[in-house]
Amino acid sequence: MVGRRLSDKKIYHIIAIPISILVMKNYLPGKFKSVLILFAITCCSSISPRPIVVSTLQHYLYVAVPGVRNLLQYGGHGLLVFDMDNGFKFIKRIPTGGLDDKGQPSNVKGIAVSLYTHCIYISTIKSMLCLDLLTEKLVWEKFYDDGCDRMSISPDGKTIYLPSFEGPDWKVVDAKTGNVLNRIVLNSHSHNTVYGQDGKKVYLEGLKSQYLTVVNTASQTIASTVGPFANHVRPFTIDASQNHCYVNVDSLLGFEIGDLKTGKKIAHIEVKGFHMGDVKRHGCPSHGIALTPIENEIWLADAFNEYIHIFDISKEKINQTGNIKLSDEPGWITFSIDGKYAMPSTGDIIDVNKKEIITRLKDETGAYVQSEKMVEVQFDGTNLLKAGDQFGIGRGHQ
């Protein structure tokens, strides 16, 4: 029979505790007490000490502004950093570029992070900027024909699919250099982009198309389309397994669902108990949709009523289960990587379990911050560990 090493806890229970009881009860002659106490101390002192583990994991929210059009009243200009581990407290403002011909800040259109290059990318109407997250210095800013819109970066951090500003194409860009490698022309008023988590497919949305276009990233060619949907596709999200897409469409306070395998629309969901009205931006009743990381709920923006509506999608029948009043008109929603927080563009930070606002983003002056372009970055000391996504994408059960 093979013997097993006793754990430190068992050694303590076998030796130290019984001896201490005997001593306290005076069951031992005096001459034996000192000997046994010394024996117990010697044995227990050989027990391996427990290492003290100090966590260096840090969670930061990076917010690019102006992230609501070019409106500087919602946080000014630059890249704002918030401490997610300390109540989303403002930490610092990192200077950025992205100025127009008059020297004024341009609309920020998208934000993404590459662990491979350890850089964060910010697109504006005219250019894309690359900033080193470790040095916080600008690496490059490149201007592209037909401008830029909301891009997406490959899971390996090496390739960016960059839409032109509501233009004809998407440019395939090298993340390290910013050089254009290829162009995919759809003439759909290119707008939003989402990479699949396996890196094999990327999903393209144009403002003037009722279809979502699927691109094979190996060949950089169109693989399929999904739709048609009820109207032009607007913001959308996908699940981790790339089985379904959840899309906003023009003129709908609600969302539709597409089957990414068959290419068909399979569901049309409308918000109950609320009516549509005029909106300040985007011209769309619901501009903003996010899938919780564990993929059990859809969170939907309602601009006119200034609400988020929550839908349970874990069962065959989709049910509207909650509504959260926001501080302003939402135009975007994303989640923290762990799914604890929902972060709409209004700057409200929502506890996902409690379904309530716990704080609002404020800059160094105390002014409220709003932006449709934000992303979580996790550090382990000075090393980049993990990056979130500007889209509220599903992460399965990771």
Rounded to an integer, what distance in angstroms lies between the CA atom of residue 52 and that of residue 61? 28
Tens-digit pLDDT profile for residues 63-106:
999 999 999 999 999 999 999 999 999 999 999 999 999 999 99
Residue 398 is predicted with a pLDDT of 53
Provide the pLDDT confidence category of residue 8 given band limits of 50, 70 and 90. Answer: very low
Q: How far is CA 34 from the centre of its chain?
A: 62
Q: CA of 86: how far to CAs of 59, 61, 82, 343, 380, in Å?
A: 9, 11, 9, 16, 16
Identity of residue 66: P
Residue 392 pLDDT exceeds 80:
yes
Sign of CA dihedral 342, 160, 142, 121: positive
Segment 232-245 shows an average pLDDT of 98
Sign of CA dihedral 18, 22, 28, 32: positive
Q: Burial of 109 by CB count in 10 Å (0-12 exposed, 13-18 middle, 19+ buried)? A: buried
Residue 23 is predicted with a pLDDT of 42
Nearest to 185 by CA among 160, 201, 206, 207: 206
Residue 25 is predicted with a pLDDT of 45
| Average pLDDT taken over every residue of the chain | 90
Segment 121-138 shows an average pLDDT of 98
Residue 246 pLDDT exceeds 60:
yes
Residue 163 pLDDT exceeds 90:
yes
Residue 47 pLDDT exceeds 90:
no
Please tell me the pTM assigned to this model.
0.87
Contact in structure between 179 and 194 (CB atoms under 8 Å):
no
Residue 397 pLDDT exceeds 70:
no
Residue 56 is predicted with a pLDDT of 84
Residue 4 pLDDT exceeds 70:
no
Residue 37 is predicted with a pLDDT of 46
Q: CA of 122: how far to CAs of 31, 107, 222, 304, 388, in Å?
A: 78, 10, 26, 28, 14
Segment 303-322 shows an average pLDDT of 97
Q: Which residues, in sequence order, are CB contacts of 3 under 8 Å at separation 6+?
A: none
Residue 155 pLDDT exceeds 70:
yes
Of 49-58, 197-206, 242-251, 388-397, least confident by mean pLDDT is 49-58
Rounded to an integer, what distance in angstroms lies between the CA atom of residue 112 and that of residue 92? 19
* Phi–psi pair at 184, nearest 5 degrees: -120, 115
Residue 10 is predicted with a pLDDT of 45
User: Who has greater pLDDT, 263 or 5?
Assistant: 263
Rounded to an integer, what distance in angstroms lies between the CA atom of residue 17 and that of residue 164? 73
Tell me the DSSP string of 216-278.
ETTTTEEEEEE---SS-EEEEEE-TTSSEEEEEETT-SEEEEEETTT--EEEEEE-SS-----
Provide the pLDDT confidence category of residue 218 given band limits of 50, 70 and 90. Answer: very high
Segment 127-133 shows an average pLDDT of 98
Segment 129-141 shows an average pLDDT of 98
Tell me the DSSP string of 162-217.
EE-TTSSEEEEEETTT--EEEEEE--S-EEEEEE-TTSSEEEEEETT-SSEEEEET
Segment 306-318 shows an average pLDDT of 97
Tens-digit pLDDT profile for residues 253-289:
999 999 999 999 999 999 999 999 999 999 999 999 9
**Distance spanning both ends of the chain, measured CA to CA:** 41
Residue 32 pLDDT exceeds 90:
no
Structure token digits, residue 132:
């080193």
Q: CA of 193: how far to CAs of 146, 188, 306, 376, in Å?
A: 16, 13, 25, 18
Segment 353-370 shows an average pLDDT of 98
Contact in structure between 364 and 206 (CB atoms under 8 Å):
no
Provide the pLDDT confidence category of residue 21 given band limits of 50, 70 and 90. Answer: very low
Q: CA of 367: how far to CAs of 72, 272, 307, 377, 398, in Å?
A: 11, 34, 22, 23, 36
User: Who has greater pLDDT, 1 or 269?
Assistant: 269
Looking up tokens 């993404």 gives 112
Rounded to an integer, what distance in angstroms lies between the CA atom of residue 149 and that of residue 310? 28
Contact in structure between 245 and 237 (CB atoms under 8 Å):
yes
Provide the pLDDT confidence category of residue 2 given band limits of 50, 70 and 90. Answer: very low
Provide the pLDDT confidence category of residue 204 given band limits of 50, 70 and 90. Answer: very high
Residue 140 pLDDT exceeds 60:
yes
Residue 52 pLDDT exceeds 70:
no
Of 34-38, 139-143, 296-300, least confident by mean pLDDT is 34-38
Residue 44 pLDDT exceeds 70:
no
Rounded to an integer, what distance in angstroms lies between the CA atom of residue 57 and that of residue 135? 19
Segment 196-200 shows an average pLDDT of 97
Tell me the DSSP string of 46-91.
TSPPPPPP---EEEEEEEEESBSTT-GGGT-SEEEEEEGGGTTEEE
Strands 348-351 and 356-360, by their bridges, are antiparallel
- Percentage of residues in the chain having pLDDT higher than 70: 86
Q: CA of 123: how far to CAs of 36, 284, 308, 383, in Å?
A: 73, 22, 26, 24
Identity of residue 299: W
Identity of residue 196: G
